[in-house]
Amino acid sequence: MPDFIVPPTAPDQNGRVLSITPESAGWEYVGFEVYRLKEGQKLSQVTGDQEAALVLLSGRADVTAGSQTWSDIGQRMSVFEKIPPFTVYVPSEQSYEVTALTELELAVCLAPGQGGHEARLIAPEHVGVEHRGSGSMSRLVHNILPEQEPADSLLVVEVFTDSGNWSSYPPHKHDRDQLPEESLLEETYYFRVQPEQGFAIQRVYTDDRSIDETMAVKNGEAVMVPEGYHPVSAPPGYDVYYLNVMAGPKRIWKFRNDPDHDWLMR
């Protein structure tokens, strides 16, 4: 059984603490990185053949992409403030620089780009806020870069699951390129847990059970979902946050619920 969990590491010289590439994941489309920058630290990169969404998870920064600069963006000091983040979209073949004005946790979401869009700021007021599900299946969703907004490949969303609740539930999957019923999308989950000593539970499984893995995911870890259903549970006493990055051959999110549990939608 492959190891689906990617743990954080000590910061490298650029402040990077977590990295998933198509090569390391054994797939084609999604890349994901997390940086923890100290006040005054700079991160300078070129996107190459990928487009990027720079999500300010916590802290404030100046961000330059191409010829544009956005000064002093970022308003939450913790993801658990539950207000939408500032995000900068950067097209392929463009340079960007992030200067941390406070301690900064930055997620860099990556997928193939064709250079078809301009760099832009996605401010909190442009993020779709959705309360999804009911009862113990309720969660708060921030649609940062949904399919209705311009990009070449990336889909980016963050989800808040309160203590004792479930999300990505009923279990669903999106691993077949069979539109209009289902789209093929690789996906990463980046977790934060409050209080930090807690954990989330995530199961990844396929119809034929060739994959059937249930994981305790710690604060700061990421989970790779190459295929299959992938529900999440927040144990009592611990609130769970995750940032999702999805990409595939077509930029559309069409999922299929596990038939055994689809009755929950009714």
What are 73-97's pLDDT values in tens digits? 999 999 999 999 999 999 999 999 9
Give the pLDDT score at 225.
98
Give the pLDDT score at 181.
96
Give the pLDDT score at 132.
94
Q: What are phi and psi of 61, to 5 degrees?
A: -160, 160
Give the pLDDT score at 265.
87
- 115: confidence class by pLDDT, cuts 50, 70, 90: confident
Contact 50, 89 (CB under 8 A): no
Buried b (16+ CB within 10 A) or exposed e, 78-91: ebeeeebbbbbbbb
Write the pLDDT tens digit of every residue in 127-160.
999 999 999 999 999 999 999 999 999 999 999 9
pLDDT at position 252 over 60:
yes
Write the pLDDT tens digit of every residue in 40-63.
999 999 999 999 999 999 999 999
Interatomic CA distance for residues 180 and 2, integer angstroms: 30
Distance of CA 129 to the CA centre of its chain: 15
Higher pLDDT, 25 or 115: 25
Give the pLDDT score at 266.
81
Mean pLDDT of the chain: 97
Give the pLDDT score at 3.
86
Q: What single DSSP character describes residue 259?
A: T
pLDDT at position 186 over 90:
yes
Give the pLDDT score at 1.
39
Overall average pLDDT of the 170-178 stretch: 97
Give the pLDDT score at 2.
55
Q: Domain residues of the chain, as ranges?
A: 5-264
Write the pLDDT tens digit of every residue in 209-236.
999 999 999 999 999 999 999 999 999 9
User: CA neighbours within 13 Å on the CB side: how many for 247?
Assistant: 23
Predicted TM-score (pTM) of the model is: 0.96
Closest CA to 206 of 180, 177, 175: 175
Write the pLDDT tens digit of every residue in 152-164.
999 999 999 999 9
Percentage with pLDDT > 70 across the chain: 99
Q: Which CATH class is domain 5-264?
A: mainly beta
Residue 102's alpha-carbon distances to 40, 82, 109, 259, in angstroms, are: 7, 19, 21, 47
Give the pLDDT score at 5.
97
